[in-house]
Structure 1
């Protein structure tokens, strides 16, 4: 895919640092991250950007789109019967058996929390009627959101064909998704336990892959991703007081958890150490 004029591609090759206080933190690992964008949602300012328009593999960050389409379908309480096509996927997966029945809402939680590929594939087939039609829905939604640098080929995030996106577009997707209450409630969960409707004795437990939810008290979501081509990826959100930070980190060779936490803490600490000056009082 070649979505960008050569000028924009050239501009995206250089990092743009907009918050000086982040420099010492980001400089420690910026060369180990292919694409990075940090945004303060409280004032809509981009705090840092590197290679935001570079086409990369989005891996399981794809499942944000898959989940949003499921949530917006109005079918969350409908029943999905697991078919062979849904199970014949690579890990990570929940391990469903053909014939098991689940509420769509449980597949959505499994896809977002555990990043289960069988759940995501099942969502696509059920909501779209077929995997092929669901991909069309994904790309139509991407276009509606202004994601001009994105092309989806599957619901799970496999590196199949031109399954590509950019940090810029994934930020657009994440900002849209976190406006949805149901989505936010799911992505902040550490685990989800559920059973097939037709076999209550069997229990599935989806544990989050997002370590920040366990190690960083201000983190409130949202999604991890990894494939051999994409590398470790992360979209994370941290909130404290008026500060509401959203980060997209793609192909991080550095420890993505430590890097994200260092960034979040630097911005939050900056606010604590240097509070706004009070307005002058009139005498």
Structure 2
């Protein structure tokens, strides 16, 4: 018995020495009170620990704040800083009352330096008050599917009724990462703001440096919430989110979770962007058949043996009616794994199809065209 255990230890040690990114199954454990690993493309949960437990989230709150700001304020707009945003406790970018700041600089100050004053300034600019902005945050959270989350402020300073779950936070982050501006901001290590004072913003998120492919997202800390981390990384056409809440070893936990799941799951390309998937009849068109294509590439993370359990179903009303424009959305591709819906991709036309003229209809009726 002892000899077998001794031999197994050296086998694992040998593999780890050969591959510095190897993490054994025994080491993959979330040290936080709750944690999750989620695939951004499909929303598939790859790892979970207490994912529906309601917990404070500290400054990971600002993921929602940033998303709403990007959705609601033009990026070239200047914001006049409301006096109530000045001197907010905790992390700060040292805003001054009535200072004019570009919204893009506020966003970088919010996400890289975790400025609580930047969060408050955004709340006043979008909604006129922290209270009204918090209601907007809660409304947007429900739209995303975060049903066990309640925001009381835009920054994450402790409030008894301010909470989320690891699952909800992953869904909010997934929605945010689908926004190109948000994705770019959280993947930035350094930003020079257009200000006279305090304009050098370096990113506090070490995941960008210590994790292969690390590209986001947000750290947070309060005494009540502990250390909270939403991390993301992209490898082999897959982007995973790893979250750990109330975790003293937050960066190592997130890195290990990401490394292990990138090692365990391989990318499976279901279809390519622009791949023709179906021909469908067209009424009253110069062409009688329209070729339909996938609007974007779909890559699904899978384990061995799962590929044959993926099914894609085309959902489109037939026939189509001319005129049709190239890239017009006409249906959907529904992709399932083990009977569970994991992705919906738009189905679009591959070319323009003009409406048939009266002359053309006559010729077609006479089989001359």
Question: TM range, normalised to the smaller chain?
Answer: 0.7 to 0.9
**Structure whose alpha-carbon radius of gyration is higher:** 2
Match of 1:118 in 2: 117
Paired residue for 2:239, among 236, 244, 247? Answer: 244
Aligned equivalents of 1:81 and 1:238: distance in 2?
35
SS of the residue corresponding to residue 195 of structure 1 reads coil
Aligned equivalents of 2:43 and 2:103: distance in 1?
34
Aligned equivalents of 1:88 and 1:112: distance in 2?
18
Could you report, residue by residue, the CA deviation over 1:63-85 in whole angstroms, capped at 9, with x for unpaired residues?
A: 01111111001332222122321
Match of 1:208 in 2: 203
CA drift of 1:172 comes to 0.9
Residue 26, structure 1, aligned to residue 28, structure 2:
yes
TM-score (norm 1): 0.81
Residue 265, structure 1, aligned to residue 259, structure 2:
yes
Cα RMSD of the aligned pairs, angstroms, is: 2.2
TM-score (norm 2): 0.63
Aligned equivalents of 1:177 and 1:42: distance in 2?
12
Q: Is the 8 A contact 1:22 1:263 kept in 2?
A: no
CA drift of 1:214 comes to 1.8
Could you report, residue by residue, the CA deviation over 1:79-129 in whole angstroms, capped at 9, with x for unpaired residues?
A: 212232101311211112223210112111110111111101100011112
List gaps (5 residues or longer) in structure 2: 1-22, 267-302, 308-369
Change (3 A) 1:89 1:48: same
Q: Is the 8 A contact 2:244 2:253 kept in 1?
A: no
Paired residue for 2:218, among 208, 212, 223? Answer: 223
CA drift of 1:209 comes to 1.2
Q: Is the 8 A contact 1:195 1:202 kept in 2?
A: no
CA drift of 1:271 comes to 5.6
Could you report, residue by residue, the CA deviation over 1:254-282 in whole angstroms, capped at 9, with x for unpaired residues?
A: x211122122222333468xx979x9xxx
SS of the residue corresponding to residue 162 of structure 1 reads coil
Flag the structure with more relative contact order, 1 or 2, with Cα contacts below 8 A and sequence separation at least 6: 1
SS of the residue corresponding to residue 252 of structure 1 reads coil
Q: Is the 8 A contact 1:193 1:203 kept in 2?
A: no
Could you report, residue by residue, the CA deviation over 1:114-151 in whole angstroms, capped at 9, with x for unpaired residues?
A: 11111011000111122221111111111111211011
Match of 2:69 in 1: 70
Match of 1:13 in 2: none
Q: Is the 8 A contact 1:22 1:267 kept in 2?
A: no
Match of 2:127 in 1: 128
- Decide which structure has greater helix share: 1
Task: Map 1:34-113 onto structure 2 (within 5 A).
Answer: 34-41=33-40, 44-113=43-112
- Decide which structure has greater strand share: 2
CA drift of 1:167 comes to 0.6
SS of the residue corresponding to residue 226 of structure 2 reads coil
